[in-house]
Amino acid sequence: MRRHSLLPIPLALFLALAAAAPAGAAEVEVGVVDFAFQPATPSIAVGDTVVWRFMNEGHTTTANSGQAERWNSGPETSPRGETFRHTFTRPGRFQYVCIPHAPSMRGTIQVGTDQVRDTVDAFRTRRSGSSVRVSFKLNEPATATYKLRGAERRTVRRGRLAAGRHSFRVRNLDAGSYRGTLTLKDDFDKSAKPKSSFVIR
């Protein structure tokens, strides 16, 4: 008589769930006390969870816009004794504020370490008539701002871009000499500023 076993199915499911969960994930508590986050800049690993504990009422924990990680305990402020949790899935240095006290009540969560040495490669500017084409390759996600100075001033903002090749064109420039600076800031707030010069005739 042939015997059937159901053991492999639950075992396979267990192994899949175990592989999906971060190994050794931890919880780190940040106290929201008076008008400060304590500690102000904890360091955690990818997969760890930060638990904000509101020791006083009237505050939020809200990520700055344009970052790889986003969270918001609002829109209302949290009452005393409440907690808010967020699990971090990407490496980076993530800044946040309490919305009612944003000018002075700020914090930063450092997640993992920066493994990329050079943010950008293959930065080029190519002039064509009264336009210039800016191209570059990102080795990691970064926010991008391009500033032109010279015969006239222009600023092009591209926000946070994914790793890979990118390009854009600045059109209808006045004749004259230009200096262009591409400012790139990665998720760890590390900046790269490749520059070039060209002439529009």
Give the SS3 label for residue 50. Answer: strand
| CA dihedral for 123, 124, 130, 131, sign (positive or negative) | negative
143 DSSP β-pair partners: 160, 185
CB 42 within 8 A of CB 109: yes
Identify whether the C-beta of residue 41 lies closer than 8 Å to the C-beta of residue 95. no
* pLDDT digit string, tens, across residues 109-148: 999 999 999 999 999 999 999 999 999 999 999 999 999 9
* Contact status, residue 183 vs residue 200, Cβ threshold 8 Å: no
pTM: 0.78
Residue environment code for 23-36, b if the CB has 16+ CB neighbours within 10 A, otherwise e: eeeeeeebebeeeb
Q: Please give the average pLDDT of every successive group of 10 residues along the chain, which has 201 residues.
A: 39 38 79 96 98 96 95 94 97 97 96 96 97 98 97 96 97 98 97 97 94
Intrachain domains 25-111 and 120-200 with the same fold: yes
Total residues found in the chain within this entry: 201
Q: Name beta bridge partners: 148.
A: 154, 180
**CATH entry 2.60.40.420 includes domain 25-111:** yes
Using CA atoms, how far residue 1 sits from 4, 82, 96, in Å, is 10, 60, 65
Phi, psi of 122 (to 5 degrees): 55, 45
| Domain 120-200 architecture | Sandwich (2.60)
CA distance 47 to 30: 16
Domain ranges of the chain: 25-111, 120-200
Structural tokens at position 97? 């504020």
Report CA 137 to chain centroid distance, whole Å. Answer: 18
